[in-house]
């Protein structure tokens, strides 16, 4: 054996929920390759194969050092024959033939492009692909009848495929918080999903809403959505009701990991020139005429807004806040990707996917844990619970099948303790 190549790892536990998985790790080249194969499997509706690649990638993400030779992987869990083969190829040749073939395949490219449309899943994309539809423009010209979500997805395709930045997530958070407090004082809102795990960008922004007085949160979502809609902040929304209360099946049913919370899938209209001003003038922006055409520089003002509501926003000499500059980069990109539209310069808003979830206070810890992710981390938690502890975990509850009782928890720490797991903080759940 070559000296100096042994990993100083004695043993690595096999469930991702037993490990610390940071966002930044030492094996990105390997995990990028495995992620492509996982994605391809998922797009081909081969879930089992997808999970196998994801577990192998997650194992590599949790290692404290860079893997330089396949011999270092001896004895490690989660690495199936196929994943090992890919890893060896990348270590030896720098690339994997299978990964290269996949990324260049017409089917993979088309499936990615089509499922990149909000409201389009793998099944629909595959059907379209077999009809010769390979791109969003193909779809647009096909004359297919699309549902409301898909129409919005197509309309804002480029923007929704631009990553959402942290400053944009913060700006959206301020808007949602205002909405929540306006319709239910005392309600609490938490950033969940990838941003809670420390990601600097995301495909959307996710929020969990609750109220300390159990029951006060009932029917909250429609009110929040109405407020946001009235203020002109929503380009699209679909709200699904809480079926949990109506259900006679009881919480945490093993057969279904579907959520029964009040949920809203939405597309926000986020001002990109100054999120502070957006908060004050959402309504004016919506009702102002010609909202697509704005002056090209960020310091120029929107003629439809009133200076008396934001006295500092009009001076060209006024220094721009940091977030404004970062968000401004997006305005440039948006205008670039929308080059064929009627925009004369960067317009002052962009579309952002936002998910809202409302949970009763007593289920808050379970909802928080269940909606923070990553998806694989969640899957591993549930697998650990059932196989190692005979417990059923959902975003609503934890059920002990041996003692035949629900285990209460008011924090994520308590849930990990019930499960006999070391507490893993959100930043280490990036499996
Ligand atoms: P990006 O948005 O791509 O940055 O990553 P993300 O981790 O935030 O992913 P996403 O927004 O898709 O989901 C956030 C978390 O919510 C993940 O842990 C998912 O497992 C979880 N989630 C998403 N949809 C559902 C659902 O329908 N039910 C439940 N229980 N969880 C969900
Ligand atoms: Mn997310
Ligand atoms: Mn989401």
126, 204, 259, 302: the catalytic one is 204
pLDDT band at residue 362, thresholds of 50, 70 and 90?
Answer: very high
The order of strands in the sheet holding 205-210 is: 188-192, 205-210, 349-358, 262-271, 234-240
Please check whether residue 212 is in contact with residue 186, taking contact to mean a CB–CB distance below 8 angstroms. yes
Ligand nearest to the CA of 379: 1
- Minimal-distance CA residue to ligand 1 atom 12: 193
Q: How far apart are CA 96 and CA 90, in angstroms?
A: 5
- Mark out the alpha helices in 94-121 (DSSP H runs): 97-104, 106-115
CB 230 within 8 A of CB 183: no
pLDDT digits (tens, 9 = 90+) for 389-420: 999 999 999 999 999 999 999 999 999 999 99
Q: Give yes or no: 400 in active site.
A: no
Average pLDDT of the segment spanning 201-224:
97
Q: Which of 93, 302, 329, 355 is catalytic?
A: 355
pTM over 0.90: no
Q: Is 355 a catalytic residue?
A: yes
Instruction: Supply the pLDDT for residue 255.
Output: 35
Residue 204 falls in the annotated catalytic set: yes
**Catalytic choice (126, 158, 206, 273):** 206
Q: Give tens-digit pLDDT for 291-335.
A: 333 222 222 333 333 333 333 333 333 333 322 223 444 444 443
Between residues 115 and 331, the one the model is more confident about: 115
**Substitution candidate for ligand 1 out of 121, 206, 424 with most atoms within 8 A of CB:** 206
Task: Give the pLDDT score at 420.
Answer: 98
* CB-proximal residues (5 Å) to ion ligand 2: 193-194, 202, 204, 206
Nearest CA to ligand 1 atom 24: 371
Rounded distance, CA 298 to CA 296, Å?
A: 7
């Amino acid at each position: 054996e070559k000296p100096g190549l042994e990993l100083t790892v004695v043993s690595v536990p096999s469930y991702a929920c037993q490990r610390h998985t940071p966002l930044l790790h030492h094996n990105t080249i390997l995990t990028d390759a495995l992620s492509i194969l996982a994605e391809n499997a998922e797009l081909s509706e081969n879930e089992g194969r997808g999970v196998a690649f994801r577990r192998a990638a997650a194992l590599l993400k949790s290692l404290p050092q860079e893997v330089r030779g396949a011999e270092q992987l001896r004895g490690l869990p989660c690495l199936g024959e196929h994943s090992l083969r890919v890893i060896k190829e990348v270590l030896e040749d720098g690339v994997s033939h299978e990964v290269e073939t996949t990324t260049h395949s017409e089917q993979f490219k088309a499936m990615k492009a089509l499922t990149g449309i909000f409201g389009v899943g793998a099944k629909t994309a595959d059907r379209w692909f077999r009809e010769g539809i390979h791109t969003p423009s193909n779809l647009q010209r096909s004359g297919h009848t699309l549902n409301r979500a898909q129409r919005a997805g197509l309309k804002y395709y480029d923007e929704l495929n631009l990553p959402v930045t942290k400053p944009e997530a913060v700006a959206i958070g301020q808007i949602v918080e205002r909405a929540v407090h306006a319709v239910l004082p005392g309600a609490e809102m938490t950033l969940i999903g990838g941003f809670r795990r420390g990601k600097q960008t995301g495909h959307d922004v996710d929020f969990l809403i609750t109220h300390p007085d159990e029951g006060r949160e009932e029917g909250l979502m429609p009110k929040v959505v109405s407020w946001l809609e009235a203020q002109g902040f929503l380009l699209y929304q679909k709200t699904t009701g809480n079926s949990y209360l109506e259900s006679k099946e009881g919480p945490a049913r093993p057969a279904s990991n579907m959520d029964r919370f009040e949920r809203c899938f939405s597309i926000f209209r986020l001002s990109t020139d100054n999120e502070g001003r957006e908060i004050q003038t959402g309504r004016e922006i919506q009702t102002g005429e010609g909202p697509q055409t704005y002056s090209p520089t960020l310091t120029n003002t929107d003629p439809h807004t009133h200076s008396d509501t934001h006295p500092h926003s009009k001076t060209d000499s006024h220094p721009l806040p940091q977030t404004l500059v970062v968000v401004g980069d997006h305005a440039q990109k948006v205008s670039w990707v929308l080059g064929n539209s009627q925009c004369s310069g960067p317009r002052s808003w962009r579309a952002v996917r936002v998910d809202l979830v409302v949970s009763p206070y007593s289920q808050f810890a379970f909802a928080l844990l269940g909606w923070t992710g990553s998806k694989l981390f969640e899957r591993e938690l549930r697998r650990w619970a059932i196989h190692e502890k005979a417990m059923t975990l959902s975003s609503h509850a934890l059920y002990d099948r041996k003692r035949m009782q629900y285990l209460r928890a008011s924090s994520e720490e308590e849930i990990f303790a019930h499960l006999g797991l070391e507490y893993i903080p959100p930043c280490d759940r990036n499996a």
